[in-house]
Structure 1
């Protein structure tokens, strides 16, 4: 079977997975989709994709399988669980994990898969849902040369940039480095707003200036939309948005700090960002930061 027509599978049709898989509907060849929610699958079957009930069933049909689920535990279940991909995958199958997980999880799962002749690559993405919708994501691939070549063609439907970061684990390390910058900059923006507010500056106008230049250079102005740095009330529409940002930030910062510790790289602003991101955003610390603070107190 030629590369452009080989069947591709997609598991996890959430905020990122759905727009990425939607781009694959434009691709020649079969698209096999799987999600626990029938309402997530329905638009894809209407558009011509084939839906199956389990990751194992995806592997029955597809030789390249993208996975976009929530966290390490869900990735493990999708790959090695009772109805997981490995239970039916044929040798030569490539599993691409787009979720941001620990690099150690990626390398461990890749070793397990390799014993069955299956390649698992870590392939986290950058660019968010808008980038996926536009087909402009950046994908950072950790895996063998052969596996990278197998995914370049299908990834090209949702990504403008597909980078071979190195061996398995390197894609996640690159994503963590990129997201360290991303989430540390959010914390710095909160600090800048506090300084400007104390100095009598209209922080909405400051936000306009930052967003103007960030539209040219990129930056942290995307969160500078509120008219105060005061804590956000639970019933404020901003609360769910900023809590989501906090949860993503704390998860990725904790992963990046773990990576820095293992490679003996001091990340003081990363440490500060993990402790202060939620409070700076006005929604309080999340479970990851609370757990880190508790561990520090008991160290």
Structure 2
């Protein structure tokens, strides 16, 4: 896109406001809108132009970011009486950063395509901290041309952009990423119950978890293969993942043994032990009998 044209941002909440703030340096300027006019005040004071509606944003911006709460608000911003579709010129790219249903993203892309409006689903990962730091990851579902037009704009508030595929793919990727995120939170709660029963300081243990995950990469450290298919014995990954399996099955077994001694129920740990080897793509090593060597 031309850097002489303004970029637009609709939705100035906890995530949208810091993302938009980083676009104040865009050469063509920044035009913003929020349902709460006061949300735009700090950005206007810093140099942005406030618009009275999403339709007004689209009257001047070629690339428009949308960060609102849910599917209903996204639909209203794009297709409502004061929505983007009412004034957007052919070639406008609208990037939806909200995490919404994949079906909503693909439907909007299909419905607005005849008007020459390219809808891009581009949910983000990294939270408010990443938004303030400009270090978000953005998972983009878009045509190749739309992705290329968005990249420079996204680079103002992100440090990693993944082109996941056509419209809808960004949302599918984000849902998979968040599945890991929130299952891991549940696992963390389970680990805390075991640690608490064992008399461990939970705050100090949390420091250890954050420290070691920063070094090892946490769960993402095993997400390096392009497939979930079983690993052939002659594949270089087989030895690496077999070693991970042996360590994981051993430690899960020992944790379950300790939990039994302390009377703590660890349902996720049992599921993890049962599915660990298969999930890695290698056959079982350590016995699936809790805490027992083969």
User: Any residues of structure 2 matched to 1:173-188 within 5 Å, and which?
Assistant: 173-188=172-187
Is the contact made by 2:54 and 2:77 (CA closer than 8 Å) also made in structure 1? Answer: yes
Q: Which moved more, 1:63-72 or 1:30-39?
A: 30-39
Aligned residues: 222
- State the match for 1:106 in structure 2: 105
Q: Take 2:22 and 2:154, find their aligned partners in 1: how far apart are those partners? A: 9
Is the contact made by 2:7 and 2:26 (CA closer than 8 Å) also made in structure 1? Answer: no
Deviation beyond 3 Å, 4+ runs, structure 1: 217-220
Q: Take 1:192 and 1:6, find their aligned partners in 2: how far apart are those partners? A: 51
Is the contact made by 2:5 and 2:60 (CA closer than 8 Å) also made in structure 1? Answer: no
- State the match for 1:246 in structure 2: none
User: Any residues of structure 2 matched to 1:1-299 within 5 Å, and which?
Assistant: 3-219=2-218
Is the contact made by 2:6 and 2:26 (CA closer than 8 Å) also made in structure 1? Answer: no
- State the match for 1:275 in structure 2: none
Unaligned runs of at least 5 residues, structure 1:
221-267, 273-299
CA apart distance, 1:146:
1.1
Q: Secondary structure at the match of 2:3?
A: helix
- State the match for 1:277 in structure 2: none
TM-score, normalisation: structure 1: 0.71
Q: Take 1:65 and 1:148, find their aligned partners in 2: how far apart are those partners? A: 13
Unaligned runs of at least 5 residues, structure 2:
220-266, 272-294
State the structure with more CA Rg: 2
Q: Take 1:208 and 1:92, find their aligned partners in 2: how far apart are those partners? A: 48
Q: Take 1:198 and 1:34, find their aligned partners in 2: how far apart are those partners? A: 50
Q: Take 1:182 and 1:218, find their aligned partners in 2: how far apart are those partners? A: 13
Is the contact made by 2:18 and 2:132 (CA closer than 8 Å) also made in structure 1? Answer: yes
| Residue deviations 1:67-118 (CA, integer Å, cap 9, x gap) | 0000001000000111110011111110000000011100001011102111
Q: Take 1:183 and 1:160, find their aligned partners in 2: how far apart are those partners? A: 23
CA apart distance, 1:217:
3.5
Q: Take 2:204 and 2:21, find their aligned partners in 1: how far apart are those partners? A: 38
Q: Secondary structure at the match of 2:52?
A: coil
TM-score, normalisation: structure 2: 0.72
Is the contact made by 1:4 and 1:154 (CA closer than 8 Å) also made in structure 2? Answer: no
